[in-house]
Amino acid sequence: MSDAEGVMQFICAIGEMARGARAPSIPAAWERHILCASVPPRVTCRHPEYDELPYPDTQGSIMPLDYITHKPLFFGPKEISVLRRLVPPNLSGCSTFEVITACLWKCRTVAIQSHPEEEMRLICAVNARKIFNPPLPLGYYGNSFALPVAVATAGDLAKNPLGFALELMKKAKADVTEEYMRSVASLMVTRGRPNYTIVRTYVVSDVRYAGTEALDFGWGKAVYAGLTKYVPVGSFYIPFTSNEGEKGILALLCLPRPAMEIFERELAKMLMKDHETAKTPSKSIVSSM
């Protein structure tokens, strides 16, 4: 029915009226026809995120729900600075979201110990509202996000430097154009609204700018308006301030306990810290939540 931005517009509108407004400050723009499939439907782009993959019984193919452990990972200015030093010059313009995501995809792939020839997938949720010409109306409440996928073998992700994963992700995100979005709409019609694949897939979404800080139903700003649970196949990024007052990004991760231990070691190596030092930010975060 709606994406994160549309949901937040709706909730904020309720808050405005709860505080006495006669109408929302951003008028609703339903206009579902804007993103309807063409007639006849035409799938003009590749959409590997909706590939129907078999569920092989091999290590790392599907995230097992037994013995899952949850871990919040804090990335402050120091951690982000270290990761940026690993980025090659031709990718130096990457966003903070991109460099953290490339890091997590690489470390997570090593941790789950898939066969080196197995294809691993990274899906990044991309807000496509501004790629249309003309842009979607400001008050559009409908879905307008894409799930482009980057694909690489587990072996290539493990042995190559951070820039390898980063470049694959940036190319996948760059594929999201107006034609791509209209192609997705047609695919939904022709294939009966398939789900994206979760086989060997890591899904990442940045919800730092969803607008939860603006929520007010008449009792003041929300004390907390973030996530309520972890997602086994993916991570959400939210804004966070540590016990020491350091502002940064919190990435929520789920892995089986043995894989989480490997992940922590890989992340520690990438951040050029010893294993115990790398654990410290997460301990302080857990105690403050």
Q: Select the more confidently predicted residue: 104 or 70.
A: 104
Q: Look at residue 56 in the predicted model and tell me its pLDDT.
A: 62
Residue 281: domain span: 4-288
pTM: 0.87
Tell me the mean pLDDT in the region 222-228: 75
The phi-psi region of residue 118 (left if phi > 0; otherwise alpha if psi is between -120 and 50; otherwise beta) is beta
Strand order in the sheet with 201-206: 68-75, 247-256, 234-241, 201-206, 119-124, 149-153
The CATH number that applies at residue 87 is: 3.30.559.10
Q: What is the mean pLDDT of the chain?
A: 88
In this structure, of 106-110, 277-281, 284-288, the range with the lowest mean pLDDT score is 284-288
Nearest-angstrom CA–CA distance, 95 and 171: 13
With residue 124 as reference, give the H or E element that holds it: strand 119-124
What is the number of structural domains in the chain? 1
The rounded percent of the chain whose pLDDT value lies above 70 is: 90
Distance (Å) of CA 64 to CA 97, 108, 255: 27, 14, 8
pLDDT of residue 196: 92
pLDDT at 204 over 80: yes
